[in-house]
Structure 1
Amino acid sequence: MQCLPGKRNTYKFQFIEKFKKQYPINIMCEELEISRDTYYKWLKRKNIKNRYELNHEALKPLIQKYYDLSNGTAGYRQIKEQLEYHEGIIISYYMAFLIKCCIMKLPEARKKNKNKGKYTVTTKGDEKKYTYQNIAENMDINDIYKVISTDTTEVKLEKDGKQNVSFFIDAYSTEILVSCIGKSLNNDFIEYNLNLLNDSDYKLDNIILHSDRGGMYKSGIYNTKTAEMNLIPSMSAPYTCTHNPWIETLNGQFKDFIKKDNPKTLDELQIVLNKFVYYNNNIKIKNKLKTTPINYRCCHS
């Protein structure tokens, strides 16, 4: 099958195709500022898949295979690296992300807004301005006690089903301040996490607490509790994991860490989580700190 270049002006061509029985093609082409030759070329090749689409279809079952092998926990970065190591296929992270979106049937908005900047919508006439409440992104995080980053990651257990693992970490040192496992992201789980953070020996006054835009971080109990703790909330733009890199990196490291033990029950997951927290805080040497996170905080308190 011949591989043809990507489509251009698709919507214009589809419009002409739809209304060609009602209006002359030459007039519609003139109004839409495209040549008739271009339209007829599109007409001939509209059902022929281009090289990108053929590659997309060939890679889909392979990405599905490695996604299933991970029990539904592997991110697109892990899948991309596994394809390269096991199959000898090199693709971009973005292609792995798009194909995984198709496999998981994620909404089109997620794919389109993956790298979209922060925004809130303010309208002035026909003009729209987009700005998000993302304080942490514009900060110079050059020491501890500035930003706490939080997120939850999902783990599937063979016997106890899906579980949510929540972390609160210092964005500079990546010290894990709080770790918790919960079946549901309900108000009790949110309050329990924040109570654990409040009871820790970490200085919390006027610290920025950065998260994504998950439902638990927009809930009333979360906003009320963080205000009581004198925390300043900050949120990433939708579908932009790059705005919360500290916790996303840790989530990936945790997923890799539990592969060896392969916990099947909630108790086994809790044991592995405790091992991971101890390793991260007390054993692992951070290049930036030249020491462990716990030792760094002890020396800078």
Structure 2
Amino acid sequence: MEGRAGVQNRASQVSSKSCGLKKKDKFRIIKRLKSQYPIRELCFVACVSRSGFYKFLKATDKESDGDHALVQCMRAIQTETSLTYGYRRMKIAIEAQLHYPVNHKRIARLQKANDLQAVIRRKRFNYPKSSFVIEGAKPNILNRNFIAEKPNQKWVTDITYLQSGSQRLYMSALLDLYNNELVAYRISSDFGIAFVLETIKDAFAHRLTENLLIHSDQGGHYMSLAYSNLLSEKRAIQSMSRRGNCWDNAVMENFFSHLKSELIHRIKPKTREELEEKIRKYVDFYNKERIQTKLKMAPVAYRSHFSQTA
């Protein structure tokens, strides 16, 4: 059997490894070596108390149990949301379920360690040039003031492309800046003006508005005479981003980025029918269930809360 001197010589690994380390780091080394050497000798060499080490063990075991519960909760949330939550939304969702605060760094660490991180977004596509009767650009009235005090005060709109098998489709959408709710959208295989105008008409068909501001970029659809006339007919105020400045319409860009990373790039739809059905479900999920970091709840729930407290 190994004598005390031999144990101390071998346990001196702790001393050399722990030189300049914090007490918790020394405890971690002792924990790693405790199956090989007596805890008494390891603590002696590391110049820490056994009682302190046992308190550390108890705390880490408790944390390990807590981590396991958090990971199970994360896994369920990411399954429901198709791996779309980063650590910020995950923190909100977990705290809503477990009813106690959780550090965001702990959530990020556990997501990384357990392969539960959100899917990374992809870059945007350059669109074909449009040929419409152009009226011209409008002033940037929105001016990056993305905060709305009530529903249907400020809407933003844009167009994105969607790949379905070998077919390229286009999506026009309108978003309410009050709660980031998708108000209306249309999908088309034709890049013409019609599907953009229909998106506007769909939105006004089920929303009551007054002095509504609608902001877009300087795409041909939005500078067209037909679009300008329609907004005038609906008594809406038209606003446009500065030329080539995507940040002026960042909220709409952000929605399309989420749509593609959380849905399109993952399912890779083979047909238009499949794509439209998946988008319909995603929009329903986005509006009614998906937590908005800024709001701490889903858009429809936030709007409902407003109507009850107004």
Identify the TM-score tier after normalising by the shorter chain.
0.5 to 0.7
> Residue 289 of structure 1: CA displacement?
1.7
**Matched residue type, 2:274:** E
Partner residue, 2:212: 207
1:235 to 237, 240, 252: 240
Q: Does 1:267 align with 2:273?
A: yes
> Residue 176 of structure 1: CA displacement?
0.4
The Cα offsets for residues 191-240 of structure 1, whole Å up to 9 and x where unpaired, read as: 2112101112x332211100000000011111111111111000001111
Partner residue, 2:195: 189
Contact 1:148/1:208 (8 A) holds in 2? yes
Secondary structure at the aligned position of 1:148 is classed as: strand
Contact 1:286/1:293 (8 A) holds in 2? yes
> Residue 249 of structure 1: CA displacement?
0.3
Q: How far apart, CA to CA, are the structure 2 residues paired with 1:254 and 1:140?
A: 20
Q: How far apart, CA to CA, are the structure 2 residues paired with 1:189 and 1:274?
A: 17
Partner residue, 1:224: 229
Partner residue, 1:174: 180
Q: Does 1:294 align with 2:290?
A: no
Partner residue, 2:78: none
Aligned residues: 178
> Residue 133 of structure 1: CA displacement?
0.7
Which 4+ residue blocks in structure 1 deviate beyond 3 angstroms?
Answer: none
Secondary structure at the aligned position of 2:143 is classed as: helix
> Residue 142 of structure 1: CA displacement?
4.1
Secondary structure at the aligned position of 1:300 is classed as: helix
Find the structure with the greater CA-based Rg: 2
- TM (norm. structure 1) is 0.54
**Matched residue type, 2:197:** E
> Residue 290 of structure 1: CA displacement?
2.2
**Matched residue type, 2:246:** C
Partner residue, 1:248: 253
> Residue 179 of structure 1: CA displacement?
1.5
Q: How far apart, CA to CA, are the structure 2 residues paired with 1:139 and 1:184?
A: 32
Secondary structure at the aligned position of 1:239 is classed as: coil
Contact 1:207/1:232 (8 A) holds in 2? yes
**Matched residue type, 1:156:** Q
Q: How far apart, CA to CA, are the structure 1 residues paired with 2:138 and 2:230?
A: 22
The Cα offsets for residues 8-50 of structure 1, whole Å up to 9 and x where unpaired, read as: xxxxxxxxxxxxxxxxxxxxxxxxxxxxxxxxxxxxxxxxxxx
Q: How far apart, CA to CA, are the structure 1 residues paired with 2:251 and 2:221?
A: 19
> Residue 138 of structure 1: CA displacement?
5.5
Partner residue, 1:148: 155
Secondary structure at the aligned position of 2:140 is classed as: coil
Shift in CA distance, 139/293, structure 1 to aligned 2, threshold 3 Å: same
Q: How far apart, CA to CA, are the structure 1 residues paired with 2:239 and 2:302?
A: 25
**Matched residue type, 1:152:** I
Shift in CA distance, 163/134, structure 1 to aligned 2, threshold 3 Å: same
Please give the root-mean-square deviation of Cα atoms over the aligned residues, in Å.
Answer: 2.9
Shift in CA distance, 284/138, structure 1 to aligned 2, threshold 3 Å: closer
The Cα offsets for residues 44-103 of structure 1, whole Å up to 9 and x where unpaired, read as: xxxxxxxxxxxxxxxxxxxxxxxxxxxxxxxxxxxxxxxxxxxxxxxxxxxx99xx99xx
Q: How far apart, CA to CA, are the structure 2 residues paired with 1:237 and 1:228?
A: 24
The answer for unaligned runs of 5 or more in structure 2 is 1-121, 129-136
**Matched residue type, 1:145:** N
Q: Which has the higher contact order (CA 8 A, sep 6+)?
A: 2
> Residue 171 of structure 1: CA displacement?
1.7
Partner residue, 1:158: 165
Q: How far apart, CA to CA, are the structure 1 residues paired with 2:274 and 2:223?
A: 31
Contact 1:150/1:211 (8 A) holds in 2? yes
> Residue 172 of structure 1: CA displacement?
3.1
Q: How far apart, CA to CA, are the structure 1 residues paired with 2:256 and 2:193?
A: 22
Secondary structure at the aligned position of 1:137 is classed as: coil
Q: How far apart, CA to CA, are the structure 1 residues paired with 2:211 and 2:299?
A: 21
The answer for unaligned runs of 5 or more in structure 1 is 1-95, 107-130
Contact 1:158/1:264 (8 A) holds in 2? yes
> Residue 291 of structure 1: CA displacement?
1.8
Q: How far apart, CA to CA, are the structure 1 residues paired with 2:181 and 2:304?
A: 12
